[in-house]
Amino acid sequence: MKTEKIPYKIYLSESEMPTAWYNLRADMKKKPAPLLNPATLQPMKAEELAGVFCEDLIAQELDNDTPFFEIPEEIRSFYKMYRPAPLVRAYCLEEKLGTPAKIYYKFEGNNTSGSHKLNSAIAQAYYAKKQGLKGVTTETGAGQWGTALSMACSYFDLDCKVYMVKCSYEQKPFRREVMRTYGASVTPSPSMETEVGNKILAEHPGTTGSLGCAISEAVEKAVTSDGYRYVLGSVLNQVLLHQSVIGLETKTALDKYGIKPDIIIGCAGGGSNLGGLIAPFMGEKLRGEADYRIIAVEPASCPSFTRGVYAYDFCDTGKVCPMAKMYTLGCDFIPSANHAGGLRYHGMSSTLSELYDQGLMEAVSVKQTDVFEAAEYFARIEGILPAPESSHAIRVAIDEALKCKETGEEKTIVFGLTGTGYFDMVAYEKFHDGEMSDYIPTDEELKAYRAKLPKVN
């Protein structure tokens, strides 16, 4: 095969960048379950979603058959400002670990928002603008999505209203200011601005909020404001579609050097970076052309794949969104307050849930102290200060590389390094001061949330 030494960074030229997103669902024989209207329990139709989401995005959301969607020229130009993202060969890490494994990571942190989320934010802002809307609303947890969306909205001159989970709003004032720099308005959630926010505050006074609750507020704001729609940074099929740009670039880069990965690893919150990274590889797997081990990594404190159930559930606490069939812990589940490492959504992408249910991918959960240990180790060796979310994938990539050290196998491991951790220094501080603990929910706790799942199936 190729004898050429693989460079530290495999870059693509502009002309090698993808011109179409790949829709993984087109190659699935058994499709992900449809979104349901909670009132009728019937599959959501485009017309019913039109009050909440943008038209073109609804079409992408509901399309299980079209394999490729052309990336509009305007979005491709924006991508060129910060893409292609490098695929890095982690030579330094391999050497330090003393592993025969070959480790690659796709680095998505090379933009101001600091994560892969900009890939979908710019697409969603583009379609909102194309529809002639005034603006969009959304929620943000750790703040990466809100930052990405505010950048995308300012590019297309759209108004951007962000509901930020209150504890992050207080813990991450710098994220908030980045969003305001790009012209977004940022409201701590739950707030008194919405009915659902008032209701949640009345039921749980002093709550520091949750993603599910901020989603409910953002949706309510969108449907009650003229010329606004709601946009979401993960979980949905359309987001996985946009994020396929990560996997397509990765595949092109690997193919250039004739490299075939054995193991592909990504962290999983709502599933968008993982769904995007694995898209073309899973496509080959679904078509019977190649086989890969694919591993989703989630926090032990929010273990939707590994300890959740595959069932219809609400996507938000206020139960205003459609229901999705997914691996879920129950829509009232909120990870314990000492959980710092992101990835705190109670559910999971319905596409990835279906693939996992069919046994086409694996999932593991990791404790946050182990995650931060890997994060710090990686920062010191590879130079990049990783986001806590990304560090879940780092942890498992290191663990797999250490297994290769024992067995002497020269496996090729690819993982997604979704972003940088500059705004997560409070969590790093806790880790350094020995104040970070691991809280893993008990079976009894999970059972109590599960008992409250809607009776649909």
**CA 138 to CA 124: how far, in whole Å?**
11
Instruction: Please report where in the chains the tokens 């929910």 appear, as a residue.
Output: 441
**CA 213 to CA 189: how far, in whole Å?**
7
Cβ neighbors of 166 (< 8 A, separation 6 or more) are 188, 189, 190, 207, 208, 209
277 interacts with ligand PLP by CB under 6 A: no
Q: How many CB atoms lie within 10 A of CB 41?
A: 11
Give 377-426 as a 3 state SS string: HHHHHHCCCECHHHHHHHHHHHHHHHHHHHHCCCCEEEEEECEECHHHHH
184 interacts with ligand PLP by CB under 6 A: no
**CA 312 to CA 327: how far, in whole Å?**
9
For residues 395 and 297, the answer to whether their CB atoms sit within 8 Å is yes
Nearer to ligand PLP, 121 or 404 (CB): 121
**CA 169 to CA 62: how far, in whole Å?**
33
234 interacts with ligand PLP by CB under 6 A: yes
Q: Which residues of 242-267 are buried (b: 16+ CB within 10 A; e: fewer)?
A: bbbbbbbbbbbbbeeeebebbbbbbb
Nearer to ligand PLP, 102 or 271 (CB): 271
CB of 99: closest distance to ligand PLP in angstroms?
Answer: 24
303 interacts with ligand PLP by CB under 6 A: no
Stretch that binds ligand PLP, among 77-85, 182-190, 249-257, 265-273 (CB under 6 A): 265-273
**Interface pattern 127-166 for ligand PLP (x via CB under 6 A):** -----------------x----------------------
CB of 204: closest distance to ligand PLP in angstroms?
Answer: 25
**CA 417 to CA 278: how far, in whole Å?**
13
**CA 124 to CA 108: how far, in whole Å?**
18
Size of the site for ligand PLP (CB under 6 A): 18
Stretch that binds ligand PLP, among 168-176, 272-280, 301-309, 429-437 (CB under 6 A): 272-280
CB of 409: closest distance to ligand PLP in angstroms?
Answer: 28
Nearer to ligand PLP, 6 or 143 (CB): 143
CB of 243: closest distance to ligand PLP in angstroms?
Answer: 7
Cis ω before 100 (30° cut-off from 0): no
Stretch that binds ligand PLP, among 212-220, 269-277, 325-333, 372-380 (CB under 6 A): 269-277
271 interacts with ligand PLP by CB under 6 A: yes
Out of 272, 317, 351, 391, the only residue in the binding site for ligand PLP (CB under 6 A) is: 272
CB of 189: closest distance to ligand PLP in angstroms?
Answer: 17
Instruction: Please report where in the chains the tokens 């330090």 appear, as a residue.
Output: 96
298 interacts with ligand PLP by CB under 6 A: no
Nearer to ligand PLP, 102 or 172 (CB): 172
Stretch that binds ligand PLP, among 185-193, 203-211, 285-293, 384-392 (CB under 6 A): 384-392
Nearer to ligand PLP, 78 or 305 (CB): 305
User: In angstroms, how far apart are the furthest CA atoms of the chain?
Assistant: 66
Q: Which residues bind ligand PLP (CB under 6 A)?
A: 115, 117, 144, 234, 267-274, 343, 387, 389-390, 418-419
